[in-house]
Amino acid sequence: MRKFFFSIIIVISLIHCTVKGQTIKIKSAVISFEFVSKETKGTISGFKSNSSIDWKNLENSVFKGSVASETLDTNNGLRNWSLKSGKYFDVDDYPIISFQSKQVKLHKKKLVVTGDLTIKNITKPITINFTQNKNQLIGTTSLYSIDYGIKIKKNREDNLVKVKMVFDTDQ
């Protein structure tokens, strides 16, 4: 559940991009996540971004963005309230989740973005793999919520969160 916020950061970074020499904008974004051990699915929204992709010089590309942690939604009001509380995401003290890329490269037809994800003032490296399907950019990553101070389950392996981002572009 805590890992929802991780998804948010990734989505934020793609709102304004330059792809294959063209500037594209994200018309809409859907970020979903699954806290695997609890089979809990949800979404997060409300993104801000300052990103660009230079396909001719990927090393000049930047993915930078943030999201408001209060937009976390698991379709369960009580669970949402609990996740936003001081015990987990603590949205009052840590209202923003952010991502800043360190490297953008192409690997086997995938755009691989490596950078720093910050949740609750804890910054850890993360890699997001993007593919393009017509007018969509689709990104996936996995993380462990416990690495960001969000302990749902006792063992690290049981805190796995899978994140998927789908961006519709005007391309």
Domains of the chain: 4-169 (2.40.128.110)
How far apart (Å, rounded) are the C-alpha atoms in residues 117 and 125?
Answer: 6
Within 13 Å of residue 152, how many CA atoms lie on the same side as its CB? 22
* Res 118 pLDDT > 60: yes
Name the band, by pLDDT with cuts 50, 70 and 90, for residue 3: very low
Return the HEC string of 29-40. Answer: EEEEEEEHHHCE
Give the tens place of pLDDT for each residue, 153-163.
999 999 999 99
Task: DSSP letter for 154, please.
Answer: S
Give the tens place of pLDDT for each residue, 37-80.
999 999 888 777 776 767 778 888 887 777 889 999 999 999 99
Q: What integer is the mean pLDDT of 2-18? A: 45
Name the band, by pLDDT with cuts 50, 70 and 90, for residue 9: very low
Name the band, by pLDDT with cuts 50, 70 and 90, for residue 26: low
How far apart (Å, rounded) are the C-alpha atoms in residues 109 and 115?
Answer: 19
How far apart (Å, rounded) are the C-alpha atoms in residues 8 and 67?
Answer: 6
How far apart (Å, rounded) are the C-alpha atoms in residues 129 and 105?
Answer: 10
